[in-house]
A and B are shown apart, each in its own frame.
Chain A
Amino acid sequence: MRRALGGVLALSGAVLLLVVGVAYARGALARDRARAEWSASDARDAVLAIDRHVGASAVREPLAAGAPMARLIIPVIHLDEVVVEGVEDAQLAAGPGHLPASAFPGDSGNAVISAHRDRHFHGLDELSLGDTVITETVAGRTTWVVVGRRVVERGKPALFPTETPTLTLTTCWPVRYIGPAPDRLLITARPVPSARRI
């Protein structure tokens, strides 16, 4: 009886771990694909060539879900990820997702980027005020400084349009939590004037 119970437990545990492993592996493959697409596109060269004028807005075509649209670099937590369009499960498995209809990073307005706390944004809670965040899009590179962090309850109003360029990074809160986390961590950043850029 004890052996049978042990066998069932071990088998169930192995199946659960397999499910988790497959999910992470698929996410890693999607992430690699997004990185390859980003590198292959002309975006990288454009980013290197243009020192973006912060606040300039442009009329942009809506991107397809899952399309790589930016690169997000946060030196203090060693994060360097390609941001994909959309925040559905499939996109969040591949990388941080840009919330559709929010501004492009660097454009006037609020650009919202979200990611899972157990994957790409696992170190987001270590960000402090004054830390640097860098985004690269086809239009150029923008350096941001973290100006705020707050925690809101899941489902509560949290995202608002802004007149000036704003970057909002969101993930689940608490970051280290077993089970679906009940709150959301929001990091707000503002572009750094050219003279102060790092």
Chain B
Amino acid sequence: MKISYTAGIALVIVCAASPAAAQFTAAVVPPERVVVKDTTTPKDSARKARVVLEQRMSDMKAWVDSAAVALASRPDSVPPETTVVRAESTVAAPVRASPDSVTAVASGEVVDERSGTTKFRPGAPAPETATPLPLFAVAGATMLALGLLLLRR
């Protein structure tokens, strides 16, 4: 089948026309950027900081109050029978912003609640005693045994 050069070009244009049309889009002008001028005075900034501080203090007060309620509702003596229970069922969790939050305690010390505690305070989690050493030991022994097995073969 013999197709002339011109006919070939025409065929390509016809075939490519449809996809090419999709490339033409209306020009959308982005909305103008609204520039907000900072009109706050140093006095306003100080007031804002004070409000934030008061909010934090009230949050802390709520936390302390809830911990005190949990403490008061908790019997001083542990039940005589062996109880292996989850924390949620025995102790009311204090009000917290999020589990990932870092809590500033009354003494000013910052404690990361994900990693246990290094100083006693009411409602503190148990100290961080988890250690990866047993995992390292098992992994090391396994790798060594496998390695020696492969070397012997």
Verify B78–A16 contact, CB threshold 8 A.
no
Verify A92–B129 contact, CB threshold 8 A.
yes
Query: Number of contact residues on A: which range applies?
Result: 35 or more
What residues of A have a CB within 8 angstroms of the CB of B79 in the complex?
148
What residues of B have a CB within 8 angstroms of the CB of A115 in the complex?
129
Could you tell me how many residues of chain B have their Cβ less than 8 Å away from some Cβ of chain A?
A: 63
What residues of B have a CB within 8 angstroms of the CB of A15 in the complex?
140
What residues of A have a CB within 8 angstroms of the CB of B93 in the complex?
156-157
Verify A147–B87 contact, CB threshold 8 A.
no
Q: How far, in angstroms, from A11 to B144 measured CA to CA in the complex? A: 7
Interface string of B13-26 (1 = CB under 8 A from A): 00000000000000
Q: How far, in angstroms, from A33 to B30 measured CA to CA in the complex? A: 72
Of the listed stretches B2-10, B35-43, B118-126, name the one at the interface; the rest are far from the partner chain: B118-126
In the complex, what's the smallest C-beta–C-beta distance from A36 to chain B, in angstroms? 24
Does A99 reach chain B (CB closer than 8 Å)? yes
Overall SS of chain A's interface: mixed
- Residue among B67, B76, B99 facing the most chain A CB atoms (10 A cut-off): B76
What residues of B have a CB within 8 angstroms of the CB of A114 in the complex?
126-127, 129
Q: How far, in angstroms, from A186 to B121 measured CA to CA in the complex? A: 16
Verify B130–A20 contact, CB threshold 8 A.
no
Does A154 reach chain B (CB closer than 8 Å)? yes
In chain A between 87 and 128, which residues have their CB closer than 8 angstroms to a CB of chain B?
Answer: 87-88, 92, 97, 99-102, 110, 112, 114-118, 121, 128
Q: How far, in angstroms, from A11 to B99 measured CA to CA in the complex? A: 40
Contact of B129 among A10, A16, A170 (CB under 8 A): A170
In the complex, what's the smallest C-beta–C-beta distance from A72 to chain B, in angstroms? 15
Known contacts A6-B147, A10-B151, A87-B127, A148 near B78 by CB under 8 Å: yes
Contact of B125 among A154, A179, A180, A181 (CB under 8 A): A154
What residues of A have a CB within 8 angstroms of the CB of B124 in the complex?
157-159
Q: How far, in angstroms, from A8 to B143 measured CA to CA in the complex? A: 9
Does B45 reach chain A (CB closer than 8 Å)? no
Verify B113–A9 contact, CB threshold 8 A.
no
What residues of A have a CB within 8 angstroms of the CB of B44 in the complex?
none
Known contacts A150-B83, A179-B135, A3 near B126 by CB under 8 Å: no
- Residue among B121, B138, B145 facing the most chain A CB atoms (10 A cut-off): B121
Closest to A184 in B: B126
Contact of B140 among A6, A13, A92, A178 (CB under 8 A): A13
Interface string of B83-107 (1 = CB under 8 A from A): 1111110110110000100000000
In the complex, what's the smallest C-beta–C-beta distance from B132 to chain A, in angstroms? 6
Verify B131–A170 contact, CB threshold 8 A.
no
Verify A160–B123 contact, CB threshold 8 A.
yes
Report B's interface with A, CB cutoff 8 A. Answer: 67, 70-71, 74, 76-88, 90-91, 93-94, 99, 113-153
9 cross-chain CB contacts under 8 A = A9-B146, A13-B147, A17-B137, A23-B133, A148-B79, A148-B83, A155-B113, A160-B74, A184-B126
Known: A2-B153, A9-B146, A11-B147. 10 other contacts (CB 8 A): A12-B147, A17-B141, A112-B120, A147-B77, A149-B83, A150-B84, A152-B87, A160-B123, A170-B129, A180-B132
